[in-house]
Amino acid sequence: MTDRYARVSATTTHDTLAIPLSLSELEQYLARAADLLRGSIDQADFKAYIFPLMFFKRISDVYTEEYERALAESGDDHEYASFAENHRFGIPSGCLWEDLRARTENVGQALVTAFRAIEKANPDVLYGIFGSAAWTNKDKLPDAKLRDLIEHFSSRTLSNAVVPPDVFGQAYEYLIKRFADQSNKKAGEYYTPRLVQHMIKSAAPGTDERRGRLPGVGRHRSPASPEGCRRRGVQQGPLPTRKAR
């Protein structure tokens, strides 16, 4: 088993034991993550850091959930579980959440590298999703602070089984309102980009698009390719409200 397979497998065990989160529990979990930034980042900029970590954790946990499902279908065939057809988004080698969690130095740069690699692997649905926050500014975000944030997010799983897409979307809107209140703005001034709307709904299970049938996602690289990318499709269904209320 390769290191990548081993890292995904280690995470799937946690997913199997994960307990579903209520909306209230998810909101508290996300609020505590934002609180970790106090004293380091201006409150008006919290969203530029919390949302990318929230999306990264979600994408990675859903990938792991799909990997676990494919393992069960194939009798623990790890190569099969890595096939692009089993996943909605591509996660290049070294860019899973657990890969970043293992970093102890230059964590900000590692996050930026992972973000850009994931966006590049999924240009139709994720390009620009992680923004351009100053993750490498160690004066504001030293490695210890980023490790604390990553460990906090690691305390819960954000897979479909634990956080259904509608709950994830509601929690996203909760954060929009929270950040608006803290920066003395109206929640209505924060719009949900269509890119984010797609990302929030992309993890919904049971869609035909799961195995890469969306435009621009029809060609897949094999797991053995240098890029190691997996692509996922996006559910074509109702999108969350465009504006927080």
pLDDT above 50 (res 214): no
Least confident of 32-41, 118-127, 234-243: 234-243
- The pLDDT, as a whole number, for residue 8 is 61
Least confident of 82-86, 153-157, 203-207, 238-242: 238-242
Instruction: Confirm if 122 and 216 have CB atoms less than 8 A apart.
Output: no
Arch. (CATH architecture) of 3-211: Up-down Bundle (1.20)
Q: Summarize the confidence of residues 165-194 as an average pLDDT.
A: 77
**Residues 47-76: pLDDT tens digits?**
999 999 999 999 999 999 999 999 999 999
**36 in the Ramachandran plot: left (φ > 0), alpha (ψ -120 to 50) or beta?**
alpha
Instruction: Confirm if 201 and 207 have CB atoms less than 8 A apart.
Output: no
Of the candidates 111, 84, 99, the residue with the CA atom closest to the CA atom of residue 232: 84
What is the H or E stretch that residue 152 is in? helix 143-154
pLDDT above 90 (res 96): yes
What are the residues whose beta carbons fall under 8 Å from the beta carbon of 135, sequence distance 6 or more? Answer: 49, 108, 109, 111, 112, 141, 146
The token pair that represents 49 in the structure block: 């850091």
Residue 186, amino acid: K
pLDDT, the chain, mean = 78
Q: Summarize the confidence of residues 118-144 as an average pLDDT.
A: 95
What is the rounded CA–CA span in Å between residue 10 and residue 14? Answer: 7
What is the rounded CA–CA span in Å between residue 231 and residue 79? Answer: 15
